Amino acid sequence: MSVDELKSWIRAQKNEIFANDAVGTGCFSYLPGEVVWAVTKRCNLRCKHCSIADVSGEELTTEEGFGIIEEAAKLGHVKFAFTGGEPLLREDIYDLIEYASSFDMQVVMATNGTLITKEVAENLKKAGLERAAMSIDGIGSAHDELRGVNGAFEDVLRGMKACEDAELAIQLFTMVTRSNYHEIEKIIKFADDLSLWRIYLIYLIAVGRGKEISEDCLSTNENMRFFDYVADKQKNVNVWLKPICNPQYWAYLKDKGLVDRKDRIEFTGCTAGITRFHIFPNGDVTPCAYLPVKAGNIREQRFLDIVRDSEMFKALRARKVKGHCATCKYKRICGGCRSRAYATSGDYLAEDPVCWFGDGKE
């Protein structure tokens, strides 16, 4: 397929591709915003890339959780996402989902999928969950290898089937690393064969346990080839492939002329601390799951006060980014992954190190 054909394909599919209803990890313009609460760090798997492994402190209570939900609802029709750890290990998870869905919010969940039986899927649906994202990092033993538990792949397949039977919408999350890169093609085929709607292809950020496998992060050149691969692959599959933790993918689409003004597709790039807010199990509020810098804590301040007053959030909103991101012509629609900047330099405003666009020219 030629560039023009791919461009027409994107144009024809844009309402679905850019729909506001996925389980996001924040690198996209979910408006008016996305509040993600990692309800627990407990988990039944031992993923090599777990971003929450370092977090300590006591989990927020059910009442404190209800308070977050009420505050989030004041932001408007936000997406409210439950994640973990494994959120299904939280005993009050159905109460929390039910409470969230009693407000005008899209209620979604990221889960490893292994604990979803027929009964669990039905209860999630009944509680008001709109969509579940499940992780597949490889096919069969390749998945188990990255997830640290034998049999995890079979279990997530059962979870997916249970959701399908309960008519609970699902999408996939796939971690993209050097060690499972050769699995990506198979995962896309797997998802396309099952007529799944989306795969979020998540770039490994070296935080949490991921610090131990930082050499598995794709380099700039590898990331560039990955974008070429994704755009090319997209021409032949129906499942929408969406690189995550990679806001420069939108810059790439513009740069290749695959979307333009006429398409009326607006990208906002990295939304961390702008329209996306992450709450860790201990109540720490941060811009993103992969950016463990605290803007405030729910136990000390109201969530909306943190969102409004945090100096970090103000700097992110003003996109006070540095280095090649500061002068890049795509700063507004990308801004660089603030988590990767932090993970590699210790400065969340530093330039995104995995980019080839920032050449200093406006």
Interface residue list for ligand SF4 (CB under 6 A): 25-27, 245, 247-248, 251, 270-272, 276, 288, 290-291, 324-325, 328, 330-331, 334-339, 352, 355, 357-358
Residue with Cβ nearer ligand SF4 (69 or 274): 274
Closer to ligand SF4 by Cβ: residue 153 or 249: 249
Taking the C-alpha atoms of residue 135 and residue 115, their distance in angstroms, rounded to an integer, is 12
Q: What is the 3-state secondary structure (H, E, C) of the chain?
A: CCHHHHHHHHHHHHHHHCCCCCCCCCCCCCCCCEEEEECCCCCCCCCCCCCCCCCCCCCCCHHHHHHHHHHHHCCCCCEEEEECCCHHHCCCHHHHHHHHHCCCCEEEEEECCCCCCHHHHHHHHHHCCCEEEEECCCCCHHHHHHHCCCCHHHHHHHHHHHHHHCCCEEEEEEEECCCCHHHHHHHHHHHHHCCCCEEEEEECCCCHHHHHHHHHCCCHHHHHHHHHHHHHHHCCCCCEEEEECCCHHHHHHHHCCCCCHHHCCCCCCCCECCCEEEECCCCEEECECCECCCCEECCCCCHHHHHHHCHHHHHHHCCCCCHHHHHCCCCCCCCCCHHHHHHHHCCCCCCCCCCCCCCCCC
- DSSP 8-state symbol, 77: S
In the complex with ligand SF4, the residue whose CB is nearer, 72 or 168, is 72
Q: Which is nearer to ligand SF4, 114 or 246 (CB)?
A: 246
**Cβ of residue 202: shortest distance to ligand SF4, in angstroms?**
8
Rounded to a whole number of angstroms, the minimum distance from the CB of residue 242 to ligand SF4 is: 11
Give 90 or 276: the residue with its C-beta nearer to ligand SF4: 276
Q: What's the min distance (Å) between Cβ of 344 and ligand SF4? A: 12
CB of 248 vs ligand SF4, minimal distance in Å: 4
Least separation in angstroms between CB 110 and ligand SF4: 13
- For residue 32, whether the previous peptide bond is cis, meaning omega lies within 30 degrees of 0, is yes
The minimum distance between CB 359 and ligand SF4, in angstroms, equals: 8
End-to-end alpha carbon distance in the chain: 32
CA atoms within 13 A on the CB side of 256: 18
Question: Which of 112/271 has CB closer to ligand SF4?
Answer: 271
What b/e sequence results for 25-41 when a residue is b if at least 16 CB atoms lie within 10 Å of its CB, and e otherwise? bbbbbbeebbbbbbbbb
CB of 122 to ligand SF4, least distance (A): 32
Residue nearest to ligand SF4 (CB): 358
Indicate the residue type of 30: Y
Nearer to ligand SF4, 52 or 328 (CB): 328
Smallest gap, in angstroms, from Cβ of residue 66 to ligand SF4? Answer: 26
Smaller CB distance to ligand SF4: residue 55 or 237? 55
| Shortest Å, Cβ 328 to ligand SF4 | 3
Q: How far is the CB of 36 from ligand SF4 (least distance, A)?
A: 10
Nearer to ligand SF4, 118 or 332 (CB): 332
Is the Cβ of residue 162 or residue 270 nearer to ligand SF4 in the bound state?
A: 270
